[in-house]
Structure 1
């Protein structure tokens, strides 16, 4: 039986975090009242000591706004920050020249760190957004460029995501935050069913991330999160799951270290957890030198 890395050990890959400097890239989604803990700038120097203390040796930084300029800047950061091994950026999937735009990003400074593309599907008002031909054409172009497509969807959008992954088997998909399950609510049963449908697509993996901000409790415990983590392990298996901190968003409910410790507790005694802690992210994102 394999053991999860103990907090503080090296070799962990954080497959999901963010960085932003608001003067250059405003974050209009941050409510300064209810989200005061993250109403600030977060840069590589802020992340480095937290990652090092937790035993994280490589990370994937993920876009937070719909901006190719932000992606170019993140690639530049990755070119200098040794801990950042990958960038999941943004491109207009519906653009006629989406292939050329992806080529430009890959040719930019730090472009070798571009490992994926993400769109904020969770905020799209169109309930059939991922069914649209123009969107699917763009996602197919992402796959043709050798990049992963990160699925940022909410629980009710899982059936649409499952259709997409079945219809585009040549694209590698990563589900962010396990689709933000309604933890502790009756809707969890529907989430579990729909997650299983998505997991039936072998070209799909998922991140155990973003759960602490989905718990409707002021003082959550690891046991509150256990049903979601155990369901994910059951339907995907550890070799199709990866750890993500969702820092700094996690700071709304948890410190970086507390989330690492919590996941270690929840994975304790499970087989194959070295995949969750790094193996899956390295394989899926093709992280070099991590």
Structure 2
């Protein structure tokens, strides 16, 4: 089993602007490799993809060093300044199992940020480097993500957290239509991740998530879905094992082969992980 989306951080080492506010106070402590090893071992997860948390090249370097030393971390989705004129050289200089790039586009005020010419050029370099690009976007940014997918059909795009559906509010549109339009592009896959924290943190049930999960399974298909815990963010609403159990329950209608894809094989294919979960050369 592969967890295709989790984080590590240490507030004593750097600032995490998104952790501000009283609601996120429980997360403002270090989450270490030792913590990761404990929760994954208990859940039966044998490999993970460690995902960036801030726009920091130094964090990416630290994550790559962790992945090189820790067997459970099979790959890193890091950060690079996509608009930098030397972005090609920066990507080539990365040392370690870099499998993807992400920027927290959801924090950009410009809903068309992904379509800015320097960003598109940088994403072309990401594709040429054999890397995936994780899409962390708001619902309002889904049209730009779909336009990007059409413009760069050779770039593997990974939609994080199913674009954060408004589960707690019980809303449906424009999220459902936006996700469906993005899924129409075959170079986009979707992570079954981050949904418990889009629901009511203290009162959610698996049934509250089902309509949204059924929709992404329908528009993407099981072969373009991959499981991610979003640990430790998920701890605001549920433990690691509870999140995994919910994902297993929500994919209960799939065949054994389809579930094997969601929980292992699709992550291997999308991020270039071999059968052991380790990272081969890019391409």
Q: TM-score normalized by structure 2?
A: 0.94
Residue equivalent to 2:74: 85
Residues 111 and 140 in structure 2, CA contact (< 8 A), matched pair in contact too:
no
Where structure 1 has 5 or more consecutive residues not aligned to the other structure, the ranges are 1-11
SS at match of 2:182: helix
- Quote the Cα distance in structure 1 between the aligned partners of 2:171 and 2:152: 28
Runs of 5+ consecutive residues of structure 2 not aligned to the other structure? 278-283
Q: Which has the higher contact order (CA 8 A, sep 6+)?
A: 1
Out of 43, 59, 65, the position equivalent to 1:54 is: 43
Per-residue deviation, 1:33: 2.1
1:104 Cα offset (Å):
1.1
Structure 1 moving runs of 4+ over 6 Å = none
Instruction: For residue 80 of structure 1, report the CA deviation from its aligned partner.
Output: 0.6
Q: Which among 220, 231, 252 is matched to residue 268 of structure 1? A: 252
1:117 aligns with 2:101: yes
RMSD: 1.2
- Quick one: distance in 2 between partners of 1:166 and 1:185? 31
Pairs within 5 Å for 1:151-166: 151-166=135-150
User: Which of 241, 244, 251 does residue 228 from structure 2 map onto?
Assistant: 244
Residues 32 and 39 of structure 1 are in contact (CA less than 8 Å); yes or no, is this contact kept in structure 2? no
Aligned partner of 2:5 among 16, 24, 32: 16
Aligned partners of 1:173 and 1:205 also within 8 Å: yes
Q: Helix, strand or coil: the match of 1:188?
A: coil
Question: Among 106, 129, 142, which residue is 1:145 paired with?
Answer: 129
Give secondary structure in 2 for the equivalent of 1:64. coil
Deviation string, structure 1 residues 128-148 (Cα, Å, up to 9, x no partner): 101111110001100000000
Query: Is the contact between residue 201 and residue 236 of structure 2 (CA under 8 Å) also seen in structure 1?
Result: no
Counterparts of 1:81 and 1:217 in 2: how far apart (Å)?
31
Distance 1:169 1:78 in 2: 29
- In structure 2, how many angstroms separate the alpha carbons of the residues matched to 1:182 and 1:32? 20
1:27 to 16, 36, 55: 16
* TM value normalised by structure 1: 0.92
Q: How many residues align?
A: 274
Per-residue deviation, residues 214-250 of structure 1 (Å, max 9, x unmatched): 1135310000000111001101111100000000100
**What is the match of residue 5 of structure 1?**
none
Is the Cα contact below 8 Å between 2:157 and 2:189 reproduced in 1?
yes
Secondary structure (helix, strand or coil) at the match of 1:85 reads strand
Encode CA deviations 1:17-54: one digit per residue, 9 max, x unaligned.
00112222322221362112211000110011211111
Partner of 1:8: none
**Cα separation, 1, equivalents of 2:210 and 2:19:** 28
Residue 64 in structure 1 maps to residue 53 in structure 2: yes
Q: 2:218 aligns with which of 229, 234, 239?
A: 234
In structure 2, relative to structure 1, the CA distance for the partners of 1:184 and 1:23 (3 Å cut) is: closer
